Amino acid sequence: MKTANIIILAGQSNAVGVGFTKYLPLHFDGVTVEKFRSGYENVLINYFSHDKKSNEFVKTTVNCTEIHKDTLGPEIGIAKTISDRYPNERFFIVKCAFGGTNLYHDWLSPSNGEPYSPTARAEHFPADKERLQAGWAYNELTLLLRDSIALLQADGYEPQIRAFYWMQGESDATAMRHVENYAARFDRLLSDFSTKFSPYLANCIYADGAISEVWRYYRELNAVKQAYAQKNGVRFIDTVAAGLTTAFEPTEAPDTAHYDSTSVVKLGELFAQELCNTLKTGL
């Protein structure tokens, strides 16, 4: 039976990706930009990304992000790196990301002991997400992954989850009570996820991205992330040390909350490299 190598990408808006595609030709050659737009044949994606759904596995391209925006997400950097390293293998990204969501409420998993709804399902990103019950974003992730596994099995694959990439925390870095509870909530999220999908975990790696410097308590939250990663075998992606930027795009009025286009690609590459380092010479 064929193996379906699954990569999970989850979190908030920098996991959605708000890099503007119009700037790509300033930083990448024409062949690379065209590949970003035409997509990767061996790296497919099934996504629920802010307010946009694919409802199936499609080629990983730009615009797996939001309706009405010409943008790209970290999946482009993931696909580029994976495809270059393993051109003859198929990988499947399952992306579930919603802008403005926090771990304190939206991404709560069941064992947090907070009010949690296992049935609430958002058909699109809600204008007022607080109207949804706690844990709705985590629930969407589990539903999307369940559906993705079923699609792959129906196509004759044996699904194996190889990586879980988490790019989130900006919203939690606005309140110290969120920062103080972050490690415990993240630990329970990973534990609940691993228990629920244990039949499909194949030496799965977990990687957590640091948030940028524009957030009030970014130092404190990144310190929490790094300490948790070191203690629990999670790969910590130090986006600050890597020089990812938010200050340059759009040129007329930079969106400092979100990574610039080149940094969006770099973020995906940093995540993907962690998997490549683990797989090394083969799958």
The count of structural domains within the chain is 1
Neighbours of 150 (CB within 10 A): 11
Q: Which of 190, 183, 165, 178 has its CA nearest to residue 111? A: 190
For residues 99 and 258, what is the distance between their CA atoms, to the nearest angstrom?
A: 10
CATH number at residue 174: 3.40.50.1110
pLDDT in tens, 39-88: 999 999 999 999 999 999 999 999 999 999 999 999 999 999 999 999 99
Confidence of residue 278 (pLDDT cuts 50, 70, 90): confident
Q: Are 73 and 266 in contact (CB under 8 A)?
A: no
Crossing angle of helices 218-232 and 176-196, rounded to 10°: 30
Q: What are phi and psi of 159, to 5 degrees?
A: -70, 135
More confident call, 281 vs 178: 178
For residues 236 and 226, what is the distance between their CA atoms, to the nearest angstrom?
A: 6
DSSP state of 22: G
Per-residue pLDDT, 127: 58
For residues 186 and 131, what is the distance between their CA atoms, to the nearest angstrom?
A: 22
Mean pLDDT of 179-187: 98
Per-residue pLDDT, 1: 76
Per-residue pLDDT, 122: 75
Mean pLDDT of 249-263: 97
Per-residue pLDDT, 126: 60
pLDDT in tens, 85-136: 999 999 999 999 999 999 999 999 999 988 888 777 777 666 565 567 889 9
Q: Which domain holds residue 99?
A: 2-279
Confidence of residue 280 (pLDDT cuts 50, 70, 90): low
Q: Write down the mean pLDDT value for the chain.
A: 94
Q: Are 194 and 161 in contact (CB under 8 A)?
A: no
Q: Which residues of 128-137 are buried (b: 16+ CB within 10 A; e: fewer)?
A: ebeebbbbbb
Per-residue pLDDT, 133: 84
Count of H-run helices and E-run strands, the chain: 7, 10
Per-residue pLDDT, 282: 54
pLDDT in tens, 129-157: 556 788 999 999 999 999 999 999 999 99
Q: Are 106 and 136 in contact (CB under 8 A)?
A: yes
pTM (global) more than 0.75: yes
pLDDT in tens, 190-237: 999 999 999 999 789 999 999 999 999 999 999 999 999 999 999 999
Is the alpha carbon torsion for 184, 10, 227, 175 positive or negative?
A: negative
Percent of the chain with pLDDT over 90: 89
